[in-house]
Amino acid sequence: MAVAQRQAPKVSVLTLTYNQERFIEQCVRSVMMQQTTFPFELVIGEDCSTDDTRAVLLRLQAEFPDQIKLLLHERNLGLISNTIASYNACRGEYIAWLDGDDYWTSAHKLQWQVEYMEQHPDCRLCFHTARVVNVDGQEIQVAGRATFNHEQKIEINSILARNDITTAAVMFRAVDGRLPAWFAQLRTVQDWPLYFWLSLHDGYFCYLETEPMASYRLHVESITHVMRDRGRTNTTNQQYEGRLLGSIADTQLIARQLPHWQRRYLRPRFFQRYLALARLHIEQHQFSASRGDCWHALRYFPINHDFQKNSLQLLKALIRACLRLPPIQST
């Protein structure tokens, strides 16, 4: 069982939530089931939900008053501002991330990760094997094993190109002070920019192969899902374009924080988003805009990253944009 919460928490669990009444109780109870030899707190940034998320959280806080710290915003702050406020409220030596629609599946997750971090003081961030599930909790894949080796040290350059770290599996050493000023300028995501910022401090990142101890819910609102499963989501063209442009703007913001030699690692991220914009504009018969998108994609073409596949995809889009050919409609 968890120890009595009378001293300063060793771990702060950071949870962000908005309109997640369907998932939030499972998330919170997966934290409260943790069996540890140290105190921990759960800091929840509730971003003025319009459903019953807040009511569920107030009920759970009454059940666990010494551990749950609610930040009940009077107006909707948005993802990034909620992240900043919630991060700044954390008091733990370590921070574990768990979004309000995700959940942990092992009661020993926190204990196991803290023990590893204590035994490896040079480790800044560790993450473990996790399940990726859909909105109904059905497994889509297991994250980590196919990408990393056990105790593999992760270079920040690989994260700049593509983020394969599952947020629900992450624990990192808290950094003194607040998040950097540029963090408030982000538009779409906060996870890989946070990893980038943490990488500027001492310590390495490490993957730990375990049995899955967390479930990360891939839903239609996430940029990852939208980029991968565009044809099977309810995302409108306008929403899709907005997310792509926001992701490009976030990547440009990170690029400005990097020395010139390191910016090349962002090329795959830029390329994929401009290529997705080109395809969208072809769908909308905006062929001139699509040709501009193809030019930007070519500008950021990742030479050493899936060269043949990327070349073919870009060539197909460019031909359609130049010949004004709409996509073939599937029947």
What does the pLDDT look like over 168-177, one tens digit per residue? 999 999 987 7
Are residues 208 and 126 part of one domain? yes
pLDDT band at 209 (very low <50, low <70, confident <90, very high): confident
Does any domain span residue 5? no
Write the DSSP string, 138-178. -EEEEESTTT--TTEEEPHHHHHH-----GGGEEEEPPSSP
Window from 58-67, 142-151, 244-253 with minimum mean pLDDT: 142-151
Does any domain span residue 328? no
Beta carbons of 171 and 124 less than 8 angstroms apart: no
CA dihedral (169, 177, 72, 81) positive or negative = negative
Are residues 207 and 105 part of one domain? yes
Residue indicated by tokens 């479930």: 215
Question: So what's the pLDDT on residue 177?
Answer: 73
Are residues 248 and 201 part of one domain? no
Beta carbons of 34 and 104 less than 8 angstroms apart: yes
Question: So what's the pLDDT on residue 304?
Answer: 74
Question: So what's the pLDDT on residue 239?
Answer: 86
CA distance 39 to 10: 6
CA distance 238 to 242: 6
> E-strand spans in 59-203?
68-72, 94-97, 103-104, 123-128, 130-133, 139-143, 152-154, 170-173
Question: So what's the pLDDT on residue 288?
Answer: 96
* Residue finishing a domain among 217, 240, 270: 217
Looking up residue 34, the CATH number of its domain turns out to be: 3.90.550.10
- List for the chain the helix, strand, coil content (%; round to 5): 45, 15, 40
* Residue finishing a domain among 185, 217, 249: 217
CA dihedral (1, 213, 70, 115) positive or negative = positive
How many structural domains does the chain have? Answer: 2
Window from 26-35, 88-97, 232-241 with minimum mean pLDDT: 232-241
Does any domain span residue 4? no
State whether residue 71 is helix, strand or coil.
strand
More confident residue, 77 or 235: 77
Which tens digits make up the pLDDT trace of 301-317?
A: 998 768 889 999 999 99
Question: So what's the pLDDT on residue 328?
Answer: 67
Does any domain span residue 331? no
Q: Which helix (H) or strand (E) holds 297?
A: helix 287-299
Are residues 279 and 204 part of one domain? no
Residue indicated by tokens 């031909």: 319
- Looking at the predicted structure, is the pLDDT value of residue 11 above 90? yes
Domain that holds residue 98: 11-217
CA distance 173 to 194: 12
Which tens digits make up the pLDDT trace of 79-106?
A: 999 999 999 999 999 999 999 999 999 9
- Looking at the predicted structure, is the pLDDT value of residue 2 above 80? no
- Looking at the predicted structure, is the pLDDT value of residue 224 above 70? no
Q: Please return the burial class of 100, using the count of CB atoms within 10 Å of its CB with bins 0-12, 13-18 and 19+.
A: buried
Question: So what's the pLDDT on residue 273?
Answer: 95
State whether residue 104 is helix, strand or coil.
strand
Are residues 97 and 233 part of one domain? no
Close Cβ partners of 34 (under 8 Å, ≥ 6 residues apart): 2, 40, 104, 107, 108, 109, 110, 111
Question: So what's the pLDDT on residue 154?
Answer: 87
Q: Whole-number mean pLDDT of the chain?
A: 90
Structure tokens at 78: 């948005």
More confident residue, 29 or 210: 29
Question: So what's the pLDDT on residue 311?
Answer: 93
Does any domain span residue 6? no
Are residues 254 and 171 part of one domain? no
Does any domain span residue 160? yes
Q: Please return the burial class of 120, using the count of CB atoms within 10 Å of its CB with bins 0-12, 13-18 and 19+.
A: middle
Does any domain span residue 167? yes
Does any domain span residue 3? no
CA distance 255 to 266: 7
Q: How many CA atoms lie within 13 A of 10 on its CB side?
A: 14
Are residues 174 and 314 part of one domain? no
Are residues 311 and 162 part of one domain? no
pLDDT band at 223 (very low <50, low <70, confident <90, very high): very low
* Residue finishing a domain among 170, 198, 217: 217
* Cα-Cα end-to-end distance for the chain: 56
Could you give the dihedral angle defined by the CA atoms of residues 314, 316, 321 and 323, in that order, rounded to the nearest 10 degrees? 150
Are residues 125 and 148 part of one domain? yes
CA of residue 69 relative to chain centroid, distance? 22
If you count them, how many residues does the chain have?
A: 331
